[in-house]
Amino acid sequence: MKSIFFTGCWLFGILALQAQGLISKPSYFKTELDSLLETQIVVSLDSLFHDMSDFKLSTKYLKEEESELTKAVLNRYFVSSIRRKRTFFKDYSFKLINLYETKKNNYFLTVVVTKLKSNEVHHIIDLLATPTNQKIVFFTPIKHHAQFWKNHTVGNITYHFRDTISLLNAKEFDRKNTLISQKLGLTPDSFDFYMCYNEQEVLNLLGIRFLSDRVGLTRNGFGVYTKTICAIENHEDFSHDVFHYYSGKVNQPQDRNWITEEGVAYLWGNAYYTDPNGEMVLLTRLVSELNAYLDSHPDAKLFELFERNTKIFSHIAPEISVRSTIAGVLAHEIENKKGQEGINTLINAGSKNRLETFLTATEHLIGVNKHNFNTRVKKLLKRYPTEE
């Protein structure tokens, strides 16, 4: 009786929702699933996309255990990428092109999002579906894709990787994770860390098979979101963004000065990118390189390099910033002279007019301002503890 009642409710729901029908099935679509289950999945998938049609996403149609991670993936790579297109849900079609069982009660599906007028593909999204409590819920296929990867836990970090990892780098990251969290008055979090080579691989792992905004881009990882990291360049040390993650837990967005944020991320973490040999780039190396640059460019002015953020490290990695290097050296001096309280003041110098507010803070904390910048920073650079 109960099951007839639920089936009845479900069918009623199916009929009601099919009227709205965002999700369609192209003529070539075929599945071996029985037709009731197929319809249930399509109806729930339709509800999931309806849920995102006001550019917000609840966890209503997401599998509970994976809901936060799935939400982070869909928010970052779907909702954020369409938010500015107010008529997106009218201008695009959403086609289910793939649906099959991967293991008992787990169904792998693919939705392709195309522009109605031109048929241009905007997204191809993979999700897993599973029945639970009389409804179908969805989740990111990251674990499905990484199911045959190896795992190894170092301290608070569980690495997922294809071949090998460097335990030396892994231990260093675990050490920094503990140190950075403690400096900010927090206890270290545990992370699932997926080792990837580039952004396209990260996107695929998370179920974003194609995203038109990010075609050809390779240099962004994923995370830290809900204790998950997908690194690029297959490097074990993600401490740069781990600093931003912990800082975001204790500092308010309107206060965070992003010149400081980058400087401290370089100082306590790393420069995020590796060099052409796959070695992570640390502040000590950048200070040596900057000193060498100043020796070979006697007319260069440190304040100009800082203000313009001149590209001088492109031979290491194009994104590496001289401004963040200098901010890291200033943060190091402030940490030595004023301790954690000084760093907190510098981090919270303000998000607006960031160059100005950063310099107001350095003047207040250690007397470095625009006028004495060249001489004071030069001295700090010369005595910074660089590599042997």
For the bound state, the minimum distance from the C-beta of residue 199 to Zn ion, rounded and expressed in Å, comes to: 16
CA angle 13, 19, 24 (to 5 degrees): 105
**Which CB, 107 or 238, lies closer to Zn ion?**
238
**Residue with the shortest CB distance to Zn ion:** 265
- Residue 92 phi/psi, 5-degree rounding, is -120, 155
Counting residues that bind Zn ion (by CB under 5 A) gives 2
Report the candidate in 22, 124, 144, 146 with the shortest Cα–Cα distance to residue 78: 124
Q: Which residues pair with residue 139 across a beta bridge?
A: 128
Binding mask 243-282 for Zn ion (x = CB under 5 A): -------------------x--x-----------------
Query: Kind and range of the H or E element at 125?
Result: strand 121-132
Backbone angles phi, psi at 348, to 5 degrees: -95, 30
Residue 160 vs 240, nearer CB to Zn ion = 240
Q: Which of 344, 143, 124, 311 is nearest to 214 (CA)?
A: 124
Specify the residue, 123 or 244, whose C-beta has the smaller distance to Zn ion. 244
Cα 204 to the chain's mean position, in Å?
14
> Which residue number, 262 or 289, has a Cβ lying nearer to Zn ion?
262
Q: Where would I find the H helices in the chain?
A: 2-18, 35-51, 67-74, 80-82, 88-91, 142-145, 167-183, 199-206, 239-250, 258-264, 283-296, 302-308, 322-347, 354-366, 373-383
Tell me how long the chain is: 388
Whose structure tokens read 């008992």?
104
Cβ atoms of residues 154 and 172 within 8 Å: no
Q: Is 326 in the site for Zn ion (CB under 5 A)?
A: no
Among positions 89-148, residues that touch Zn ion (CB under 5 A) are: none
Residue type at 150 in one-letter notation: K
Three-point CA angle 51, 55, 61, nearest 5°: 25
Cβ(206)–Cβ(221) below 8 Å: no
Tell me the CA end-to-end span of the chain in Å, nearest whole number.
78
Smallest separation (angstroms) from Zn ion to the CB of 271 = 9
Residue placing its CB nearer to Zn ion in the complex, 102 or 218: 218
**Choice between 154 and 242, CB closer to Zn ion:** 242
**265/312 with CB nearer Zn ion:** 265
CB of residue 285 vs Zn ion: minimum separation in angstroms?
17
Closest to Zn ion by CB, 44 vs 181, is 181
Amino acid letter, residue 213: D
Residues of the shown chain interacting with Zn ion in the complex, contacts defined by CB under 5 A = 262, 265
